[in-house]
Amino acid sequence: MNILVTNDDGVTANGILCLARHLSKKHKVTVVAPETEQSAVGHAITLRLPLWLRKIDINEDFEIYAVSGTPADCVKIGIDVVLKEKPDLLISGINRGNNLGTDVVYSGTVSGALEGAIAGIPAIAVSSFSFENPIYETAAKFILDFLEEFDINSIPQFTALNINVPSIPYEKLKGWKLTKQSKRMYEDYFEERKDPSGGNYYWMMGNIIENDPDPKADYKVLTQNFVSVTPISVFLTNEEYLKRLEERYEDKAIR
Mean pLDDT of the region 233-241: 95
Give the pLDDT confidence of 160-207 residue by residue, as tens digits. Answer: 999 999 999 999 999 999 999 999 999 999 999 999 999 999 999 999
Q: What are the boundaries of each domain within the chain?
A: 2-182+214-252
Give me the pLDDT at residue 69, please: 97
Coil, strand, or helix at residue 66? Answer: strand
Give me the pLDDT at residue 250, please: 77
Q: Which residues are annotated as a binding site?
A: 8-9, 39, 95
CATH fold for the domain made of 2-182+214-252: Stationary-phase Survival Protein Sure Homolog; Chain: A, (3.40.1210)
The rounded Cα 2 to chain-centroid distance in angstroms is 19
Give me the pLDDT at residue 253, please: 61
Q: Which residues are annotated as a binding site for a divalent metal cation?
A: 8-9, 39, 95
Ordered DSSP codes for 71-97: HHHHHHHIIIIIISS--SEEEEEEEES
Give the pLDDT confidence of 195-226 residue by residue, as tens digits. Answer: 999 999 999 999 999 999 999 999 999 999 99
